[in-house]
């Protein structure tokens, strides 16, 4: 029988599952494990500045590649990355959190070990992770490692959720049988045929009786692999099609039926009126929360709606379980009346605005970013006014859009831009919109982008504060210390990197900076000076609505 080590077994399994890069920070409990991982041909470690940033990078990587991994040391690294794991859980991302663990002899000996709380119970980390991952696996014997490793990877891929895997530090180089071929789970589970047929029949009947149906794309289309079948249904119905704000990029905006973003009172112009006047709204994979409904201002009429979730469908209050979203949309598209031809595609993209010598505005910045986008662009949009500017951008067919709206952890986009850049490769280019407040949380990862020759173009929106928090509830705490953001790139270059930091305070300055950025082979950060009160109208309205939702009086005293 051929033999391997625990670490080599894991490395082989990861490459069999398609992983090519992972992110992490070394620490004494994971060092031998890292030795084993980096021996694997075709598996590269991206060393990050801290564990939280590494987790955000793994989040971004998973959005492009469908599997990612972050490696940390026990407790001090694990509890740092736990926030990123929670965000990945909220967005259905298959992220393996791999942690080194204490020596297996210490617990039985009653030792107090460093990087812990100083208690004799050494296994606190796995309990901390339980609420934010699909399952925890703690390897304390070498003979149980192969089965746990296999189950962790398969579960991560099957359920599209983070999984926590902890391997004791003295087991990483222990001998185990070499891995056989890995049996991966099917791309998606199968629907119950009877339940699927009943759901499609009910939805077909509801559509047949409607005059003005509308389709609304939700973010769960991505994790369900149902974006293509959603488009088939849109082509078949030839009706109005909107996207929820976190689903932007999951439907081609050149499509003749596309009407914009449905987002309650901050929807695209005329979009809310069209959706809310529909007598049959089909929501496919939605998440309804206070953010995506703009403080519950998007009215959801159950009697006039069909709600198709990842694994169930509801038609006018009747529930159909064990129905997969992709199956439902595919079969429904084959049952509805087709048109002679699908709606004609339409051009929506604009040219770059004329360069202006006046102080730069948010609107002018957005127009310049619009002109930069191509089918090979990956847009990474940070929480804040960047959300609303991102929604106003027209995506070319083929461009990707990445946002974290359910969890909304500010600082996410810096690490995510790194992960998306590594995953997308040199043929694609990341364009990121990040506010100054968010950037200050995770700025260190600019150095990692420079180190690994990633080449995103980052627009740093410098309005000297937390604009999104100010519009929800303002106070002196929303002001921050200004930085020389463009100069920071030179500090991270340290004489050996190829990052480029630029400043723009006018439209003309931004136009010149973008031209340099397009030609530069490496990271570019463009610091855009904006007035403190310059933001989208949508942020103002959304902020008031979310504030009102937050401040509702307690119903029970």
Per-residue pLDDT of 358-381, as tens digits, reads 999 999 999 999 999 999 999 999
For 18, the token pair is: 């398609």
**Residue 547 CB: number of other CB atoms within 10 A?**
14
pLDDT at 469 over 90: no
The whole-angstrom separation of Cα 287 and Cα 219 is: 7
| Residues 6+ positions from 262 with CB-CB distance below 8 Å | 216, 242, 243, 244, 268, 271, 272, 275, 298
For 174, the token pair is: 């222990």
For 46, the token pair is: 């991206």
Are the C-beta atoms of residues 507 and 353 closer than 8 Å to each other?
Answer: yes
pLDDT of residue 412: 98
Percent of the chain past pLDDT 90, that is, above it, reads 78
Q: What is the DSSP annotation of 242-280?
A: EE-GGGTTSS-TTSTTEEEE-BTBTPSTTHHHHHHT-SE
Summarize the confidence of residues 478-505 as an average pLDDT.
94
For 551, the token pair is: 């401040």
Are the C-beta atoms of residues 179 and 12 closer than 8 Å to each other?
Answer: yes
Query: What 3 state SS string does 394-437 have?
Result: CCCCCCEEEECCCCCCCCHHHHHHHHHHHHHCCCCEEEEEEEHH
For the segment 85-108, what is each residue's pLDDT rounded down to a tens digit?
999 999 999 999 999 999 999 888
For the segment 123-133, what is each residue's pLDDT rounded down to a tens digit?
899 999 999 99
Strand locations in 298-415, DSSP E? Answer: 305-308, 312-315, 318-321, 377-381, 400-403
CATH topology match: 3-177 vs 362-543: yes
Are the C-beta atoms of residues 390 and 401 closer than 8 Å to each other?
Answer: yes
pLDDT at 261 over 70: yes
**What angle separates helix 537-550 from helix 385-392, to the nearest 10 degrees?**
130
Are the C-beta atoms of residues 285 and 532 closer than 8 Å to each other?
Answer: no
pLDDT of residue 338: 56
The whole-angstrom separation of Cα 510 and Cα 257 is: 34
Summarize the confidence of residues 520-540 as an average pLDDT.
89
**What angle separates helix 78-90 from helix 51-65, to the nearest 10 degrees?**
30
CATH number belonging to domain 193-335: 3.40.50.1220
Give the architecture (CATH level 2) of 3-177.
3-Layer(aba) Sandwich (3.40)
Q: Helix, strand, or coil here: 284?
A: strand
For the segment 16-68, what is each residue's pLDDT rounded down to a tens digit?
999 999 999 999 999 999 999 999 999 999 999 999 999 999 999 999 999 99
Here the contacts of 495-503 (C-beta below 8 Å, separation 24 or greater) are 497/447, 497/450, 497/451, 497/522, 498/450, 498/453, 498/522, 498/523, 499/446, 499/449, 499/450, 499/523, 499/524, 499/525, 500/524, 500/525, 501/525, 501/527, 502/526, 502/527, 503/527, 503/529
| Residues 6+ positions from 550 with CB-CB distance below 8 Å | 290, 472, 473
For 240, the token pair is: 């109005």
For the segment 399-431, what is each residue's pLDDT rounded down to a tens digit?
999 999 999 999 999 999 999 999 999 999 999
For 171, the token pair is: 């087991």
The whole-angstrom separation of Cα 348 and Cα 396 is: 9
Are the C-beta atoms of residues 48 and 448 closer than 8 Å to each other?
Answer: yes
For the segment 299-327, what is each residue's pLDDT rounded down to a tens digit?
777 788 999 999 999 998 899 999 999 99
The whole-angstrom separation of Cα 295 and Cα 286 is: 16
pLDDT of residue 347: 52
Q: Helix, strand, or coil here: 342?
A: coil
CA-closest candidate to residue 194, choices 293, 327, 86, 285: 327
**Residue 157 CB: number of other CB atoms within 10 A?**
20
pLDDT of residue 174: 97
Summarize the confidence of residues 258-264 as an average pLDDT.
95
pLDDT of residue 112: 83
Query: Has domain 362-543 been given CATH number 3.40.1350.10?
Result: no
pLDDT band (50, 70, 90) for residue 339: very low
pLDDT at 345 over 70: no
Summarize the confidence of residues 246-275 as an average pLDDT.
95
The whole-angstrom separation of Cα 140 and Cα 171 is: 8
Q: Helix, strand, or coil here: 164?
A: strand
pLDDT band (50, 70, 90) for residue 446: very high
pLDDT band (50, 70, 90) for residue 183: confident
The whole-angstrom separation of Cα 448 and Cα 428 is: 18
User: What residue ranges do the domains of the chain occupy?
Assistant: 3-177, 193-335, 362-543
Span of 72-81, 136-145, 477-486 with lowest mean pLDDT: 477-486
pLDDT at 465 over 70: no
- Largest interatomic CA distance in the chain: 76
pLDDT of residue 348: 55
pLDDT band (50, 70, 90) for residue 507: very high
pLDDT band (50, 70, 90) for residue 344: low
**For residues 476 and 514, which has the higher predicted lDDT (pLDDT)?**
514
Span of 118-122, 429-433, 508-512 with lowest mean pLDDT: 118-122
pLDDT at 340 over 50: no
Distance, CA of 53 to chain centre: 14
Report which secondary-structure segment, H or E, holds 501: strand 500-504
Summarize the confidence of residues 206-217 as an average pLDDT.
95
Indicate the DSSP class of residue 209. Answer: T
For the chain, what is the mean pLDDT?
92
The whole-angstrom separation of Cα 34 and Cα 40 is: 10
Are the C-beta atoms of residues 246 and 402 closer than 8 Å to each other?
Answer: no
Summarize the confidence of residues 445-466 as an average pLDDT.
93
Helix, strand, coil content of the chain in percent (nearest 5): 40, 20, 40
Q: How many helices (H) and strands (E) does the chain have?
A: 21, 21
């Amino acid at each position: 029988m051929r033999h391997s080590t625990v670490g080599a077994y894991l490395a082989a399994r990861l490459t069999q599952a398609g992983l090519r890069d992972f992110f992490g920070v070394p620490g004494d409990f994971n060092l031998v494990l890292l030795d084993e991982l980096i021996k694997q041909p075709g598996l590269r470690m991206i060393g990050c500045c801290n564990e939280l940033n590494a987790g955000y990078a793994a989040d971004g990587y998973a959005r492009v590649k469908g599997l990612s991994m972050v490696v940390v040391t026990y407790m001090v690294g694990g509890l740092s990355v736990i926030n990123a794991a929670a965000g990945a859980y909220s967005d259905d991302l298959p992220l393996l959190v791999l942690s080194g663990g204490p020596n297996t002899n210490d617990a039985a000996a009653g030792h107090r070990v460093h990087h812990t709380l100083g208690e004799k119970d050494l296994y606190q980390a796995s309990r901390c992770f339980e609420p934010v991952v699909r399952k925890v696996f703690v390897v304390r014997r070498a003979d149980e490692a192969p089965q746990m490793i296999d189950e962790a990877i398969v579960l991560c891929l099957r359920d599209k959720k983070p999984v926590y895997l902890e391997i004791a530090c003295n087991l990483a180089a222990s001998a185990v049988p070499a891995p056989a071929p890995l049996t991966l789970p099917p791309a998606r589970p199968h629907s119950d045929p009877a339940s699927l047929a009943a759901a499609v029949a009910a939805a077909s009947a509801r559509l047949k009786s409607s005059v003005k149906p509308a389709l609304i794309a939700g973010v769960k289309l991505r994790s369900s692999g149902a974006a293509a079948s959603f488009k088939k249904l849109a082509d078949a119905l030839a009706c109005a099609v909107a996207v929820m704000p976190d689903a932007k990029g999951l439907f081609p905006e050149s499509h003749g039926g596309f009407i914009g973003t449905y987002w309650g009172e901050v929807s695209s112009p005329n979009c809310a009126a069209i959706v809310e006047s529909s007598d049959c709204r089909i929501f496919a994979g939605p998440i309804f929360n206070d953010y995506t409904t703009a403080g519950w201002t998007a009215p959801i009429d159950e009697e006039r709606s069909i709600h198709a979730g990842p694994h169930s469908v509801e038609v006018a209050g009747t529930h159909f379980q064990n129905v997969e979203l992709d199956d439902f949309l595919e079969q429904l598209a084959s049952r509805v009346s087709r048109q002679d031809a699908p709606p004609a595609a339409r051009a929506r993209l604009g040219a770059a605005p004329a360069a202006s010598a006046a102080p730069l505005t948010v609107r002018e910045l957005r127009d310049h970013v619009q002109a930069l986008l191509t089918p090979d662009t990956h847009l990474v949009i940070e929480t804040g006014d960047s959300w609303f500017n991102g929604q106003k951008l027209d995506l070319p067919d083929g461009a990707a859009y990445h946002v974290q709206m359910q969890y909304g952890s500010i600082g996410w986009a810096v690490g995510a831009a790194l992960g998306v850049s590594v995953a997308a490769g040199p043929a694609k280019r990341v364009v990121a919109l990040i506010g100054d407040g968010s950037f200050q949380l995770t700025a260190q990862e600019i150095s990692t982008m420079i180190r690994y020759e990633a080449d995103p173009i980052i627009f740093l929106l410098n309005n000297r504060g937390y604009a999104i928090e100010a519009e929800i509830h303002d106070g002196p705490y929303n002001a921050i210390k200004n930085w020389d953001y463009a100069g920071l790139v030179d500090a991270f270059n340290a004489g050996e990197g190829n990052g480029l930091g630029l400043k723009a305070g006018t439209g003309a300055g931004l136009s010149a900076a973008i031209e340099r950025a397009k030609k530069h082979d490496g990271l570019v950060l463009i610091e855009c000076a904006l007035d403190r009160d310059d933001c989208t109208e949508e942020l103002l309205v959304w902020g008031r609505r979310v504030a009102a939702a937050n401040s509702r009086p307690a119903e029970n005293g």
